[in-house]
Amino acid sequence: MESVIVAIDGPSGTGKSSTSKAVAAKLGLSYLDTGAQYRAITWWMINNGIDTDDPAAIATASAKPVIVSGTDPAGPTITVDGVDVAGPIRTQEVTSKVSAVSAVAEVRAVITELQRSIALTARQGIVVEGRDIGTTVLPDADLKIFLTASPEARAARRSGELKGKESADLASTKAALIKRDEADSSRRTSPLAKADDAVEVDTTDLTLDQVVECVVTLVEEKRAAAR
Ligand SMILES: Nc1ncnc2c1ncn2[C@@H]1O[C@H](COP(=O)(O)OP(=O)(O)O)[C@@H](O)[C@H]1O
Ligand SMILES: Nc1ccn([C@H]2C[C@H](O)[C@@H](COP(=O)(O)OP(=O)(O)O)O2)c(=O)n1
């Protein structure tokens, strides 16, 4: 297998971004954070005065922002219309609105096409992480992983990140995270779901290194089987 495509999906705080970046760096692959793209389009909608509770307005504007993702796992980047939005897309305002924006079918069509073109041009291969990569974006991926973890572990990881930046206690972080997972899992267009052929890894009691090792081993097994 010359170039390998790995799809990593799962709910918030299961370790998708950290795992994907580390696996890509170890194996010399590109890395794509598709959540960052949905956050970027949400940021653009807010910044351009589009009502994020108005799916028709979002649909009309969906093709306007130009989103560019840099896919080096050592320093992934994201710009919208040439503006670096790596910081602004992580605010609680964007986080609270991203599920509504990403549920709009027109938004998903635009972003899915962008994701496929990025995956196609990654010469060494790529690790793509998100919610619908194994089911919809790259159904022919060489390896599909579905990460899970208990809501308690996920909330603890997330509130550890937020501390010092924006105040968020554990209970409200957990409530917001569960609400977003429910919205992402119940939307009509390509909801968060495990692909039938995905390997499920429960990360609740695993260290990040253990999860990375597990995924790297699975990629190596796939490569060996293809030889
Ligand atoms: N297995 C793990 N054990 C403990 N903490 C972890 C683990 N995996 C990731 N983390 C931490 O949890 C937080 C959320 O991880 P992240 O990779 O951003 O998750 P996701 O992309 O699924 O939302 C980060 O601070 C990360 O360092
Ligand atoms: N492939 C994807 C990736 C993310 N999304 C949406 C749904 C998620 O709540 C948001 C944000 O995703 P992101 O991975 O940045 O979220 P977390 O890092 O888990 O907090 O984007 C999606 O609909 N499809």
**Which value does ipTM take for this structure?**
0.98
Ligand 1 proximity of 17 Cβ (cutoff 6 Å): yes
CATH architecture of 4-226: 3-Layer(aba) Sandwich (3.40)
Split at pLDDT 50, 70, 90, the class of 77 is: very high
Q: What is the pLDDT of residues 168-220, one digit of tens each?
A: 688 888 999 999 999 999 999 999 999 999 999 999 999 999 999 999 999 99
Task: Determine whether 227 is exposed, middle or buried from the number of CB atoms within 10 Å of its CB (0-12, 13-18, 19+).
Answer: exposed
In whole numbers, what is the pLDDT of the chain averaged over residues?
95
160 is in an annotated binding site: no
As a whole number of angstroms, the distance between CA 202 and CA 208 comes to: 12
21 is in an annotated binding site: no
Cα within 13 Å of Cα(214), Cβ side? 18
Residue 168: the pLDDT is 62
CB 184 within 8 A of CB 11: yes
Ligand 2 proximity of 43 Cβ (cutoff 6 Å): no
In degrees rounded to 5, what are phi and psi of residue 190? 35, 70
Ligand 2 proximity of 103 Cβ (cutoff 6 Å): no
- Which one, of 184, 175, 171, lies nearest residue 10 by Cα? 184
Distance of CA 139 to the CA centre of its chain: 16
The pTM for the full model equals 0.96
CA of 13 to the centre of ligand 1 (A): 5
